[in-house]
Structure 1
Amino acid sequence: MTDLSDFIARLPKAELHMHIEGSLEPELMFALAQRNRVEIPFDSVEAVCAAYQFSNLQDFLDIYYRGADVLRTEADFRDLAAAYFDRAAADGVVHAEIFFDPQTHTDRGIGFDVVMRGLTAAMDAAQARHGITSRLILCFLRHLDEAAAFATLEAAQPWLHRIEAVGLDSSELGHPPEKFARVFAAAAACGLKRVAHAGEEGPPDYVHQALDVLQVDRLDHGNRSLEDPALVERLVREQMTLTVCPLSNLKLCVVGTMEEHPIDRMLDEGLRVTINSDDPAYFGGYVNDNYRAAAEARGLGRDALVTLARNSFLGSFLPEAEKAALVARLEEYAARA
């Protein structure tokens, strides 16, 4: 695995499924809590780490929202994103399309503009420092109602030049994609791309709804699509990109062990799957940790890893010329590595 690990370390790649609030490491959480004089229900970094034992998505979300409470100022959001980009650069990420959850912050009285100024400052700095290009995806929290999503889309209007797409995250079960049909249509009318979490804990029907009702341009997770052969055929035919997150799937008990993960089956079926880190501070690894875990558990070789990286560029929202340039860079690396 040593040679393969080195190959992964330098493999040019994009990350398409990463929640910026989910990159809040315990050390930074404590630092921001102290800086902002925010009380958190943990007395040490070790206590936070011990709390990162989840049996399902909701268990994780409960602690996720507690951690996000330390984010208060423009500087906090800038520092949070800057820390992610530093790690991404070390992992060979050359392009990132990152989720953010404005409702998590605006519901606490933090202004939408505060969040955006901090994140975009870090994005601009990352491009200057690391050469990483990036895009923002505004996620609606599906456990909240349609009216709240519309209010968030309205608040985003002055920032649409910095937002690439809208997404749908948070508690999946009991909150089908069709609940947000009208706000996704409104976002499309604003010129925004659309993505949605579906088929992680929710059934294949949620994937159908994401495709047919929300008309998504990319599917987040999508693991349970494998339960519906006709759906798999459709996803392959339409070359729909799936943003798969192996360590997240393990941590949230979507799979029992990494050896059970279907990433190789997805590749064999011809699905355009990618590997991503989801909420890396909580799930035990950034993007290269996910590549390595999947490669070791499922016996992925160099060709499969290159396919996954190529899919990450093809599935991005970059202009076609930029995609082609990044794929060429990847092929050059693969040929000489």
Structure 2
Amino acid sequence: MLDERMRNILQQMPKAELHIHIEGSLEPELIFALAQRNGVSLNYATVEELRRAYAFTDLQSFLDIYYAGASVLLEEQDFYDMTAAYLARAHADNVRHAEIFFDPQTHTARGVPFETVINGIWRACQDGPVSATLIMCFLRHLSEDEAIATLEESLPFRDKFIGVGLDSSERGHPPAKFCRVYERARQLGLHLVAHAGEEGPPAYIETALDLLNVERIDHGVRCLEDPELTARLAREQVALTVCPLSNIKLRVFDRMDEHNLARLLDAGLVVTINSDDPAYFGGYMNDNFIATFEALPLGVEHARQLARNSFSAAFLEGEAKRGFLDQVDRFFQQHANTNTN
């Protein structure tokens, strides 16, 4: 068990979240409230019954219920309320900056206009208690032509998001499938990230770097299976947005004490801790930090490194980034001073 001092450090230290799917923050209580507001019928009689259904065996079984939950999102206010609820939780965990993934194709396929989706999420970010920006993700189980159509549809709202990502089921959908849409996004000046090396092999990480030219790898935990790739990630300081509780829930690792996060740090990789889909995977940011530090041989210096990594890897302008990093350094300096008095 963590001692009180370490727990307080993890809870109170400033941090950024770089891997959060906003639709994955939709708690059962809000799903039911929105279903009632919008006249959507659910296959679950109660909040408790829905929460009990959150028993996943793999990524696909999670995605099935994830898309069912998203069916209650119909109006701009629904997207606003979902995002506002996440930002309040993030603020309570001392998240100072969040880069939020959203999946427009999940909603436009149901007839919800693109502008309804992005305007609701973006408006909540402007009103929220923490710095927040948006990354638009393409669903990799759909075609690249559909991704290109989504990118073109997004252009009138280009000022409301900073980058593109690639999510949904990894198996059978390699990064190479999306070269053209990523090249178009790069030409538009968007930041580029992609999920790779969670369920997919280390080769997916390599091709995401070489063919898609991504700046960050989302997940990436399977890189250690390839020593050359691991050395490259360390040398090029490519950040990994690791999601520990998600990895356990989806059986990437069976138990937290088997997670390779400490080994990733030991290999010199720019590791960050994130919550992924916190409503479904059992925890927000501080839950992920506490579960990881309880199970692995990690201490105060690792906490400081992870906090600094989260801001170093963020798509922030120089002055804003330096300001957040200074907050981290001041926090740990104050902690050190308090500890020696």
Alignment of 1:128-147 (within 5 A): 130=129, 132-147=130-145
Letter of the structure 1 residue corresponding to residue 157 of structure 2: W
Please point out which of 126, 149, 152 is paired with 1:151: 149
Please point out which of 73, 76, 95 is paired with 1:74: 76
Question: What is the match of residue 277 of structure 1?
Answer: 275
Please point out which of 224, 227, 232 is paired with 1:226: 224
Question: What is the match of residue 308 of structure 1?
Answer: 306
Structure 2 segments unaligned to the other structure (5+ residues): 336-341
Give the share of equivalent positions with the same residue, in percent.
Answer: 56
Give TM-score scaled by structure 1 length: 0.98
In the TM superposition, what is the alpha-carbon distance from 1:176 to its structure 2 partner? Answer: 0.2
In the TM superposition, what is the alpha-carbon distance from 1:299 to its structure 2 partner? Answer: 2.6
Alignment of 1:261-300 (within 5 A): 261-300=259-298
2:133 match: secondary structure:
strand
Please point out which of 34, 41, 44 is paired with 1:39: 41
Please point out which of 169, 185, 188 is paired with 2:186: 188
Letter of the structure 2 residue corresponding to residue 160 of structure 1: R
In the TM superposition, what is the alpha-carbon distance from 1:247 to its structure 2 partner? Answer: 0.0
CA-to-aligned-CA distance 1:251-283 (integer Å, 9 cap, x gap): 000001000001110100000000000000000
RMSD over equivalenced CA pairs, Å: 0.6
Question: What is the match of residue 6 of structure 1?
Answer: 8
1:202 match: secondary structure:
coil
Report the Cα distance in structure 2 between the residues aligned to 1:125 and 1:10, rounded to whole angstroms: 23
Letter of the structure 2 residue corresponding to residue 117 of structure 1: N
Question: What is the match of residue 117 of structure 1?
Answer: 119
Report the Cα distance in structure 2 between the residues aligned to 1:4 and 1:27, rounded to whole angstroms: 32
Question: What is the match of residue 24 of structure 1?
Answer: 26
Report the Cα distance in structure 2 between the residues aligned to 1:4 and 1:20, rounded to whole angstroms: 29
Please point out which of 164, 167, 188 is paired with 1:166: 164
Report the Cα distance in structure 1 between the residues aligned to 2:108 and 2:220, rounded to whole angstroms: 29
Report the Cα distance in structure 1 between the residues aligned to 2:186 and 2:207, rounded to whole angstroms: 16
1:98 match: secondary structure:
strand
Question: What is the match of residue 102 of structure 1?
Answer: 104
Report the Cα distance in structure 2 between the residues aligned to 1:92 and 1:159, rounded to whole angstroms: 29
Question: What is the match of residue 85 of structure 1?
Answer: 87
Question: What is the match of residue 52 of structure 1?
Answer: 54
1:99 match: secondary structure:
strand
Structure 1 segments unaligned to the other structure (5+ residues): none
- Which 4+ stretches in 1 moved above 6 angstroms? none
Letter of the structure 1 residue corresponding to residue 160 of structure 2: R
In the TM superposition, what is the alpha-carbon distance from 1:171 to its structure 2 partner? Answer: 0.4
Report the Cα distance in structure 1 between the residues aligned to 2:137 and 2:33, rounded to whole angstroms: 26
Letter of the structure 1 residue corresponding to residue 154 of structure 2: A
Give TM-score scaled by structure 2 length: 0.97
CA-to-aligned-CA distance 1:75-121 (integer Å, 9 cap, x gap): 00000000000000000000000000000000000000001110111
